Amino acid sequence: MQRRGVLGAASLLAVLVTLGFAPARAQQEPIVFGLITPLSPPGETALGQLAKRGAELGVDYINEKGGVLGRKVALSVHDSAGKNEQGVAAYRRLVSSEKAVAVFGFIHSGVNIAVNEVAKEMGVPTMGTQTGASDVTAKKYDIAFRTHAVDAPRAAAWLGWIQKNKWKRISVIAETTDYGIGLAKETEKQNKDKNLGLEIQTIMFDRTTTDLLPQLLQVKAFKPDAIVNIGVGQPLDLIITQAHTTGLLPGAQMVTSYDAPARPQFWQLHGDKGVGINFIAFYSPKSELSDLGKEFAKRYQAKFNEPPVYAALNGFANAIVFAEAIKTANSTEPKAMIKALEEGSFTGWSTSPLTFPRAEGPLWHNWSPPLMVLRYATKDQTPATAEVAYVLGQ
């Protein structure tokens, strides 16, 4: 009899927990944001770390301000290692098991494109944090968003810089990834469409190649005025080193396709040979920040003892934008969030508001940061003191 009583009490407790307490507990469960970013090789790990730092500070900021819809936000970090399959597996796990409502942090275009193919079926929106290939958004998937410069304005930036300096012979040396191929093609296309009259030599290479001397000897034989270096990570640095060896540099000008030289390790890697390098940048410490951007810069400086760079700013902004979209939609339901993103205007780090219109081509759901070419004129310069060689649109 006593045993039956205990069993009855246990059953009653179970029912109470199931009916009463469980929903209350679910209410308190955090909203999960997924971060898929390269944190181990062969991915661009430095950018991944920077995006992660920004995203973590973004989530901290959101939670300090009371969270979203009365719930805290949790960041679940997954390493893509720059590999498409690893990124796709992470997305599946985030959405299926961890119930993530938004996924961002993408650095490699290939990973972002591959994930979007799965995301369009699973429905949870993605945000390309620093992915440049057109196809990330040009396929016009409802779930695909991006806060980065696409191929067209980026190529326009270096072509504008080249035109400003009246150079005629251009070598484009690009890796055979979605990123490299897209940018090399876009450069050739704009030269033709805008009738710029540039003579362009395009050389593609496999990004696992450890020796680019044969390719750079070809570049040297072409006698270019300027070289567009479209390598990411190790190949970018290898091209700078071996271009010096062949005597291409410092004679010709070189522009790198993204802001890798903005990192402190640039001078350790290149020393004197880094002088004269130009690089595409999306943010300069001279750029004006929004109030939110200033707040982030202050927190970042305090935590990491260095000023924030672009990937960190974007990681932060991505988290904020998704949180604001959930608030606007008053829901974490993907379709409602997507509608809020498409129709809303959000404050990020830049003074220009973030919008994601249903525009044509790669500008679909895309917010583009300002684009400029910075130049290191002396050794050990920081991006803050680098010369602004060209600003797109000015």
Partner 1 sequence: MIFSTELLVQTVLSGLMVGVLYALMALGITFIYSIVKTINWAMGEFYMIGSYIQFVAVHYVLGARWWWLAAIISAAGTFLIGLILEPILIKPMYARPMQRRDDYATVVTIALLLLLRSLAVALGGPNQYRPESDLPVVWIGPLPQEGARVAAFVCALLALGIFWIVIKKTWVGLALRAAAQNRLAVQTSGVDVYRLDAIAFAIGVALAGLSGALLAPLFMVFPTNGAVTTVKGFEIIVIGGLGSIPGALIGGLLLGLVESLGAAFVSSPYQNVYGFLLVILVLIIRPNGLFGERGREA
Report if residue 241 touches partner 1, rule: CB under 8 A. Answer: yes
Q: DSSP 3-state assignment of 34?
A: strand
Window of 43-51, 54-62, 188-196, 331-339 that interacts with partner 1 by CB under 8 A: 43-51
Minimum separation from the CB atom of position 220 to partner 1 (A):
9
Comparison of 146 and 270: residue with beta carbon closer to partner 1: 270
Comparison of 178 and 324: residue with beta carbon closer to partner 1: 178
State the DSSP H helix or E strand holding residue 61, giving kind and residue range, or none if neither.
helix 45-64
Report if residue 251 touches partner 1, rule: CB under 8 A. Answer: no
d(CA 377, CA 387): 7
Minimum separation from the CB atom of position 81 to partner 1 (A):
10
Name the burial class of residue 274, with classes exposed (0-12), middle (13-18) and buried (19+) by CB atoms within 10 angstroms of its CB: buried
Minimum separation from the CB atom of position 265 to partner 1 (A):
5
Comparison of 214 and 353: residue with beta carbon closer to partner 1: 214
Which two structure tokens, joined as six digits, stand for 144?
A: 């695909």
Comparison of 209 and 290: residue with beta carbon closer to partner 1: 209
Strands 100-106 and 31-37: parallel
CA dihedral over 363, 365, 370, 373, signed as positive or negative: negative
Comparison of 211 and 360: residue with beta carbon closer to partner 1: 211
Q: Which residue has the tokens 């992660």?
A: 52
C-alpha angle 232/272/165, rounded to 5°? 70
**Under 8 Å between Cβ of 296 and 308:** yes
Window of 39-47, 113-121, 275-283, 340-348 that interacts with partner 1 by CB under 8 A: 39-47
Write out the binding residues for partner 1, residues 198-227 only, by CB under 8 A: 203-206, 208-211, 213-215, 217-218, 221-222
Write out the binding residues for partner 1, residues 176-195 only, by CB under 8 A: 176
Total number of residues binding partner 1 (CB under 8 A)?
Answer: 38
Report if residue 393 touches partner 1, rule: CB under 8 A. Answer: no
Which two structure tokens, joined as six digits, stand for 344?
A: 């809303």
Q: Which residue has the tokens 């390309």?
A: 128
Q: How many CB atoms lie within 10 A of CB 301?
A: 12
The DSSP line for 176-195 is: SSHHHHHHHHHHHHHHHHTT
Window of 46-54, 161-169, 318-326, 345-353 that interacts with partner 1 by CB under 8 A: 46-54
Report if residue 48 touches partner 1, rule: CB under 8 A. Answer: yes
Comparison of 139 and 169: residue with beta carbon closer to partner 1: 169
String of b and e for 5-26 (b: at least 16 CB within 10 Å)?
Answer: eeeeeeeeeeeeeeeeeeeeee
d(CA 300, CA 314): 13
Report if residue 89 touches partner 1, rule: CB under 8 A. Answer: no
Name the burial class of residue 212, with classes exposed (0-12), middle (13-18) and buried (19+) by CB atoms within 10 angstroms of its CB: buried
d(CA 130, CA 258): 10
Nearest to 374 by CA among 276, 247, 294: 276
Minimum separation from the CB atom of position 192 to partner 1 (A):
21
Q: DSSP 3-state assignment of 174?
A: strand
Of 118, 269, 275, 388, the one binding partner 1 (CB under 8 A) is 269
Report if residue 279 touches partner 1, rule: CB under 8 A. Answer: no
Comparison of 20 and 214: residue with beta carbon closer to partner 1: 214
Of 35, 39, 57, 136, the one binding partner 1 (CB under 8 A) is 39
For residue 337, the one-letter residue type is M
Of 63, 163, 234, 347, the one binding partner 1 (CB under 8 A) is 234
Comparison of 307 and 344: residue with beta carbon closer to partner 1: 307
**Under 8 Å between Cβ of 253 and 223:** no
Report if residue 17 touches partner 1, rule: CB under 8 A. Answer: no
Report if residue 384 touches partner 1, rule: CB under 8 A. Answer: no
Report if residue 41 touches partner 1, rule: CB under 8 A. Answer: yes
Comparison of 213 and 377: residue with beta carbon closer to partner 1: 213
Binding site residues, partner 1, CB under 8 A = 39-42, 45-46, 48-49, 176, 203-206, 208-211, 213-215, 217-218, 221-222, 233-234, 237-238, 241-242, 245-247, 265, 268-271
